[in-house]
Structure 1
Amino acid sequence: MIRTLSARLFFLTALWAIVATSAVAWYLAESFRTGVEINLRERLTANLYNVMGSVSQTGAGQLTGGPDLRDSRFLRPGSGYYWKVSNLTGDDSLSSASLAGGVIEVPEGAPFDSGFQREFLARDVGGQELIGIEARAFLGDGDALYSFVITANRNEADEQVSQFVQRLLIVLSLFALGFILVTFFLVRLGLDPIKQATARLADIREGKAERISGEFPLEIQPLIDETNALIVSNRNVVERARTQVGNLAHSLKTPLAVLRNEASRAAPAVRQVVEQQVQLMQSQVQTYLDRARISARSGTVTSRTEIAQSLTRLVRVMQKLNPNIDFTVTITASDPVFAGEQQDFEEMAGNLLENAAKFASSRVEVSATTAEKAIVLSVGDDGDGMTQAQIREAVKRGTRLDESKPGSGLGLSIVRDIAKEYNGTLTLGRSKLGGLNAELKLPLAGVSR
């Protein structure tokens, strides 16, 4: 199945050119063949009348005469161009030099027309196909009936038609080839605006532009306008979602703070229950607020973040906060660009760096590369690492495997949630330094998610 519009148009046009050219070639060839046969019959009829007017009887009843047909083929033996006059009631006859004493076998059964003439097909002694005309008439005042026969070589007419068809096919084939080539360029030129619109859409998806710009044909312009309107509408929806998320966050902070303050003045048993429930409520609210915020940002079509600068800046901050840890950064990809918001990338990378610095003994290695149309960010440390059971627990929200270390236990789960919104993945394993290695795969800008 042809899936591209340009290939479909080119194929249909080329097919039509071939069919139309073949039909024209057949029609012209048949018309030429008909014309050649009509012309041949007319010449034969004219020559037959010439023979009939040039042959007469002598006083002794013998045939005499020599028609001048002005065609040397009637003089060349075996040419297929013959004439013969025969007495149907006697033995006397007269024939052309080309017949050389031979006979012309007229098939029986061919009907005569009203002028006592008939056409026929025959073969001479050399096997050549002949087309002939026979007429019967009386000579002089006698009652003897004579047969006047003249023939032509039909093979020569066929060769003439064949040569014409060959030349015709060459000319029409060149015309069809030229037509197909011109159609190819016309199709490409005609569909170029669609190609340009596709390139503009790719720029929007990669974050290089915010709308489709440029002038397009009237047939495509309505689609461009609707697409731009859809992009604006999408942007407005995202902005409203961000605003509502922020408003919801502020509206919930105050009631929870009031509950916590009131619990501090309650009985110890009541205070403990209320504080636990308030903390649980804050955790749950924060979870869904984070997801809503991430979904709103990842839903945009113009998200684009160059990770080299962000990663370098984050590592510099971590080195200042953890002077006893040696951070090394390796970026093997050429200017990797994350198809997402800078804030989300920095939050994911920052959490991974903070977690590695918290549990590392002295070294943290950070690497960024591209593989399988994705950015791969790896953060490894030389700490104690984790078991498989601990790895499964580590990504659960609020889980703290080491209570001696500060933190809320939300870091890895936040990284996982943000990556999931971008169709990315977070994988934990053993680092080559001996500690934990966190591998984060994120979509590369320019690749459809």
Structure 2
Amino acid sequence: MMRHEASLSRRLLTAAGAFIALALIIATVLIGFVLHRFVQGQIDQRLDTQIVFLASMLRADGAGRISLAGNADGPPFERRRRGWYWQVTGPRNVLRSASLDGADLDAPMLAAREDRPPAPPRKDREERPRPADGVGPDDDYLHFRIKPVKVGGLDVTITTSAPRAAVLGPLREAMITLGISLAVLGLALVLAIMLQVRLGLRPLERLRRAVADVRSGRLDRVPSRQPLEIQPLVEELNGLLDQNASSLERARRHVANLAHGLKTPLATLAIAASADGGRDPATLQRLVAQMERRIRHHLGRARTAVLNGPVRAQTLIVPRLQDLGDALGKINGDKAVVFSMNVPADLMVACEQQDFDEMAGNLLDNAFKWARGKVSIRGVRQDSLIELSVEDDGSGLSADERAQVLRPGERLDEGAPGFGFGLSITSELAELYGGDIALGASPLGGLCVTLRLPAAGAAESR
């Protein structure tokens, strides 16, 4: 059963949605923390202001009792039992806010509820009031600020309180508003991401339609004007189309060459058969062999161009050259030709083994045929090409003769065996694979034929 991969747009939307959700959650936590500190700071500032105000109004008499020089029950400390309280505890008496309505803020209870140990005295400025949380006279949750002061040499503790609702209420309202705002922002971001993904993937849809038009024949190539990110893909597609078109053209040319090459042998065969009734077997056999050779050559090249492609095969050349050299040395054993090879063991060409055998076999066969006693082959890699140089110590060829022997069917010595197609077939095969051959003079005194073919792996990287 085939496994259906998730679409690219779904992957992008899922990743973007997860990232947006995570970012909004982190933002909510951080903003909530900041808002809590802000609201808490405002409440603490109001309570600390009340402590400073009370401390400025405190007086002590000779009996150790404390009193206030004025009325300290300003807003919001005048509202009864609302959580806004203050209390001043001295050695002999206690002063309370009117909002306490005679109740006490239990000092031991406050001390028991303080989480942190007393802060060490600060030398740079006056010690700030200490925070604490606890329960008030009506069992409501309060936030306290407590500060010990000196009044006329007496130790006095000033305590102020505010209801926890004064902190949590505004914070809750702010967080609700913040949550709604962030939800709307998240929805807007998701919609923006969806629009962005849709617009961003639109070039891929256009590319799909262009490839479909190429497949249906309405276009020859994919339009080259594409976004920068998919431009390399378009270039590779067009390169593939060009290669397929070139392979098809080669196949058509080979078929045309086959048809043209068979015309003359068939006509000659028909004349020979009608003239003497087929009583000359040697003539008929030669014509049939020539037609068979041409059919095998052209159909083999067409098959390679259309089915295999010149860049898919790889052939390690040293074993093939060694086998060819051994075989030709035995065939030409009467000449005692010395065959030498200087080719790195790891050289590989992007070529079918059968085609490489035919090219190298033709070159080595000619070298052994015309050599007096020495045949050598050298191989090197030049960038993306493998160069094989086959040399012999024969009589060699002039510049005009070198151009002549590359034409199909051209022979310089009609008395020598063969049909004159070896070098032309090798040249055509080399061109099929993106290479070539070149003829020159050999330091040994004879002919030097250089065969250039793409190195394995180089064709794919082009």
TM (norm. structure 1) is 0.54
**Counterpart Cα distance in 2 of 1:118 and 1:193:** 65
Counterpart residue type for residue 102 of structure 1: D
Q: Which runs of 5+ in 2 are unaligned?
A: 310-462
Give the conservation status (yes or no) of the 8 Å contact 1:47–1:69: no
* 1:244-259 to 2 correspondences below 5 Å: 244-256=254-266, 258-259=268-269
For 1:84-103, what aligned pairs fall within 5 Å after superposition? 84-87=87-90, 89-90=91-92, 92-100=93-101, 101-103=103-105
Given candidates 32, 35, 39, the residue that maps to 2:35 is 32
Map 1:140-219; keep pairs closer than 5 Å.
141=152, 143-213=153-223, 215-219=225-229
In structure 2, C-alpha distance between the alignment counterparts of 1:137 and 1:27, rounded to whole Å: 37
Cα distance in structure 2, aligned partners of 1:5 and 1:76 = 65
Are 1:118 and 2:122 matched, yes or no? no
Residue 67 of structure 1 corresponds to which residue in structure 2? 72
SS in 2 for 1:147: strand
**Contact residue 55 and residue 66 of structure 1 kept, 8 A:** no
> What RMSD over aligned residues (CA atoms) do the two structures have, in Å?
4.2
2:47 aligned residue: 44
How far is 1:247 from its partner? 1.4
Paired residue for 1:235, among 208, 220, 245?
245
Do the aligned partners of 1:2 and 1:8 also contact (CA within 8 Å) in 2?
A: no
Separation in 2 of the partners of 1:37 and 1:129? Answer: 15
Q: Render the CA deviation track for 1:223-252: whole Å, top value 9, x for unaligned.
A: 435533542342232122112112113323
Shift of 1:151: 1.1
Tell whether the 8 Å contact from 2:47 to 2:161 is kept in structure 1 after alignment. yes
State the alpha-carbon separation in 1 of the partners of residues 154 and 171 from structure 2.
Answer: 41
Distance 1:11 1:270, change over 3 A: same
Query: Structure 1, residues 332-356: CA drift from partner, whole Å, max 9, x if none?
Result: xxxxxxxxxxxxxxxxxxxxxxxxx
Structure 1 match to 2:13? 10
1:22 to 25, 36, 42: 25
Summarize deviations over 1:18-68 as a string: whole Å, max 9, x none: 222222222222111111222222111101122223344578746455303
The verdict on how the C-alpha distance between 1:225 and 1:290 changes in structure 2, with shifts beyond 3 A counting, is: closer
Report sequence identity in percent: 27
Superposition deviation, residue 160 in structure 1: 1.8
Per the alignment, residue 133 of structure 1 pairs with 145
Give the C-alpha shift of residue 291 in structure 1: 12
Question: Following the alignment from structure 1 to structure 2, what is the Cα–Cα distance between the partners of residues 249 and 144?
Answer: 126
Deviations 1:114-137 (A, max 9, x none): 546433222224443322122223
2:80 to 71, 76, 79: 76
Q: What secondary structure sits across from 2:187 in the alignment?
A: helix
Q: CA deviation at 1:110?
A: 4.1
3-state SS in 1 of match to 2:88: strand
1:152 aligned counterpart, secondary structure: strand
Aligned pairs, number: 291
**Whole-Å separation in 1 of the counterparts to 2:201 and 2:138:** 63
Report if aligned partners of 2:88, 2:159 keep a CA contact under 8 Å in 1. Answer: yes
Aligned partners of 1:267 and 1:206: how far apart in 2? 53
Which segments of 5 or more consecutive residues in structure 1 lack a partner in the other structure?
A: 300-449
Residue from 57, 65, 78 that aligns with 1:54: 57
Deviations 1:89-145 (A, max 9, x none): 33x222123323133332155457454643322222444332212222344x4x543
- Equivalents in 1 of 2:137, 2:275: separation in Å? 135
SS of structure 2 residue aligned to 1:174: helix
Does the 8 A contact of 2:87 with 2:96 survive in 1?
Answer: yes
C-alpha spacing 1:246/1:82, structure 2 compared with 1 (3 Å): same
- Give runs of aligned pairs for residues 249-398 of structure 1, distance below 5 A: 249-256=259-266, 258-259=268-269, 262-263=272-273
- C-alpha separation in 1, matches of 2:214 and 2:84: 81
Distance in 1, matches of 2:161 and 2:37, equals: 18
Q: Verify the 8 A CA contact 2:85 2:97 in the aligned structure 1.
A: yes
Does the 8 Å contact 1:6/1:187 carry over to 2? yes
